[in-house]
Chain A
Amino acid sequence: MRHTLLLLTVTGLTSVGACAIGMRRLGLPGDGLGQALLGMCRLAGTAIVFLSLNLLIGLAGVLLARGLGVFVSVYLLNDAFLPVLSVLQAVIFECWRAQRTAR
């Protein structure tokens, strides 16, 4: 419980700090936060799509290898780095898409 409280307090403090800097120093509009949250959800959604595709293709590869007589463990896909790579894919893809919107 203490662990959870510490994490929430630290991230809460940095979030409030970022809001203060954004509005006072950078002049960002406060009502743009809703759009930013929506953007975060969109980015998370793209990351989930990438992760699902990565897992599905990986699983198909494992089953194909097994079908060809080579045993490959499904647990190879159980790597904490796969979600990280999926998030990076999503960030790149969304940044790329944002360029088109900005033009």
Chain B
Amino acid sequence: MRRDVLSIVGAIGVAFLLAVGFTPLPNVVSYWMAPARELGPAEAIVVLGRGGVNERGELVEASLLGLMEGIDLYQHRLAPLLVLSGSPFGTRWTEAGRRADVARECGISGQAIITMSSARTTRDEALGARALLAPRGIRRIILVTDGQAMGRAMLLFERAGFDVIPSYGAPVLEWGGTPEARLGVMRQVVIETVARLYYRLAGYL
């Protein structure tokens, strides 16, 4: 490749990196990607898998945060059912199973918890939720996942026949954060953009 082309690519890359670290660009893009809908009562809260379980059988931080958000929504009586999803691979524990253990320890009745352990992708989770919830006549759900992933997840769940409310209701534009945190947000935005492109090419969206 010609050196001047490499220099231009590099200059754009460096300028982008500095803009990500030292301007609110990632916050604005993330806010723009997050769908908004008024938070209200639903028939179930569906907490999507996030990161799984470590070698000691403990939920990773992202998974625990998602679970806590789901438990909080349940305790605010926004839905009578908590559906906990999680990937089956990696360790002898399943993320959904460990999440259910923690939810019970937080005082939620076992009858109000449904686990979904076989899904490996967001699309699998939407199809799995339909198989579990459609026979119960459940359509209106509150979906819990990362802000950046919410748009794609909502579309998939809507295609599976659900009426979806994002767990945060309306997104909040946050201007703060450290350069490292903003880099993390932009990383998630890039991952989600690639995932959306893949889902579109595969015909899932």
Contact = CB atoms under 8 A, between A and B. Distances in A.
Interface residues of B, number: 23
Contact of B3 (A8, A42, A44, A71): A42
Given A45-B7, A45-B10, A49-B6, A3 B179 contact: yes
Interface string A45-83: 111110000000000000000000001011100100000
A45 B9 contact: yes
A40 B89 contact: no
Given A49-B1, A73-B120, A44 B179 contact: no
B82 to A, nearest CB: 24
B13 A45 contact: yes
**Interface residues of A, dominant DSSP:** helix
Contacts of B11: 41, 44-45
Interface string B167-205: 000000000101100000001000100010010000000
Interface string A1-26: 10110011000000000000000000
B10 A42 contact: yes
Interface residues of A, number: 21
Contact of A7 (B8, B89, B176, B179): B179
A38 interface: yes
Contacts of B195: 74
A100 B102 CA distance: 61
Max count, chain B CB within 10 A of own CB: residue among A1, A40, A48: A48
Given A40-B10, A44-B9, 17 more contacts: A4-B22, A4-B178, A7-B179, A38-B7, A41-B14, A42-B7, A42-B10, A45-B7, A46-B6, A47-B13, A48-B10, A49-B1, A49-B9, A73-B87, A74-B195, A78-B187, A78-B191
3 A-B pairs with least C-beta separation? A45-B10, A44-B10, A45-B6
